Amino acid sequence: MHANWKTWAHVTKLDPDKHLPPGAVEEIVTSGTDALMLSGTLNVTQENLRELLDMVSAYGLPLVVEPASPDCAIFDGEVDHLFVPSVMNTSDARWIIGKHYAWLRNSGSINWDIVVPEAYIVLNPASAVGRVTGADCTLAKEDVAAFVGVADRYFRFPIVYIEYSGTYGDPDIVRAASDAIEHAILYYGGGIRSAEQAAEMGSIADTIVVGNAVYEDGIDVLRATVRAVQ
Ligand SMILES: CC(C)=CCC/C(C)=C/CC/C(C)=C/CC/C(C)=C/COP(=O)(O)OP(=O)(O)O
Ligand SMILES: O=P(O)(O)OC[C@@H](O)CO
Ligand SMILES: [Mg+2]
């Protein structure tokens, strides 16, 4: 399978539960972003996910579906990759292996060629993903480094994702994650709304993810975050 995803510097995360004005899709796909990730924690259904896929699939940009539940793990032809999260810093096993067990137990066939496991470290307790997974977000740098080691060296996840969804994170924490990584690709996402922030996190992580800014700040901000890392 093609592993081009390892070279992406900038990913735009689109939420099937949110509305884009006419023309926005065209502007987003031509912004220079390397790929689109379709994802959200709350209110994502097969219906709104497929509707968004239909809106974005004609443009040739790589498409990733990142399901927050097994029913949204879809393998439609236009989907290039299925990035499947596990949360490292929760004590609720559902979000580490439970949903995954249910997925394999209940689904017919899984196209493993496109599945890429992600080790999430969730650090904003107020985010939907923080609340839903009950993640312990009170981590020191040393704790983050240890979770990164568990994910990268022990479980050998190909992606480690430092997730501050909704708020801009602590660069020292992301640096601690980067220092602790040997093989995995390091993703950073959360609160990026300017070229400066994109450049700062982009100089530490391999790949930055921009989500809310697309909906709340518009295309010029998205373009500025792309230019800052490419
Ligand atoms: C086993 C399968 C196929 C699925 C389960 C996958 C798991 C364990 C998901 C846990 C939650 C998680 C890490 C979801 C990833 C997507 C994500 C973090 C979306 C962003 O969430 P928010 O931005 O907080 O939520 P909203 O945008 O919906 O408010
Ligand atoms: O929406 P923002 O805060 O940009 O975060 C991006 C992404 O990491 C969310 O899963
Ligand atoms: Mg979100």
Ligand 1 centroid to residue 85 C-alpha, Å: 7
* Alpha carbon of 101 to ligand 3 centroid (Å): 25
Ligand nearest to the CA of 84: 1
For residue 124 and ligand 1, the question of a CB distance below 6 A is answered with no
Residue-wise pLDDT for 136-156, tens only, equals 999 999 999 999 999 999 999
Contact 119, 160 (CB under 8 A): yes
Does position 1 have pLDDT exceeding 60, yes or no? no
Task: Name the residue ranges covered by the structural domains of the chain.
Answer: 4-229
pLDDT (0 to 100) of residue 108: 85
> Is pLDDT at 71 greater than 80 in this prediction?
yes
Residues in contact with ligand 2 by the CB-under-6-Å rule are 13, 163, 165-166, 189-192, 209-213
Residue identifier of the C-alpha nearest atom 5 of ligand 2: 190
**Cβ partners under 8 Å of residue 97, min gap 6:** 86
pLDDT digits (tens, 9 = 90+) for 164-213: 999 999 999 999 999 999 999 999 999 999 999 999 999 999 999 999 99
DSSP 22-39: TTHHHHHHTS--SEEEEE
Of all protein residues, whose CA lies closest to atom 8 belonging to ligand 1?
A: 95
The Cα 169–Cα 190 span in angstroms is 7
Of 64, 165, 215, the one to substitute when testing ligand 1's pocket (max ligand atoms within 8 A of C-beta) is 165
pTM above 0.80, yes or no: yes
Identify the band that residue 3 occupies on the pLDDT scale cut at 50, 70 and 90. low
Q: What distance in angstroms lies between residue 44's CA and the mean position of ligand 1's atoms?
A: 10
Is the CB of 128 within 6 Å of ligand 1?
yes
**Residue 165 annotated as binding site:** yes
What pLDDT, on a 0 to 100 scale, did the predictor assign at position 2?
A: 61
Alpha helices by DSSP H, listed for the chain, are 24-29, 46-56, 98-106, 128-133, 141-149, 171-180, 195-202, 212-216, 219-229
What are the φ and ψ backbone dihedral angles of 145, each rounded to 5 degrees? -60, -40
Q: In this structure, which topology does domain 4-229 adopt according to CATH?
A: TIM Barrel (3.20.20)
What interface predicted TM-score (ipTM) does this complex get?
Answer: 0.97
User: What pLDDT digit, counting tens, does each position of 173-187 carry?
Assistant: 999 999 999 999 999
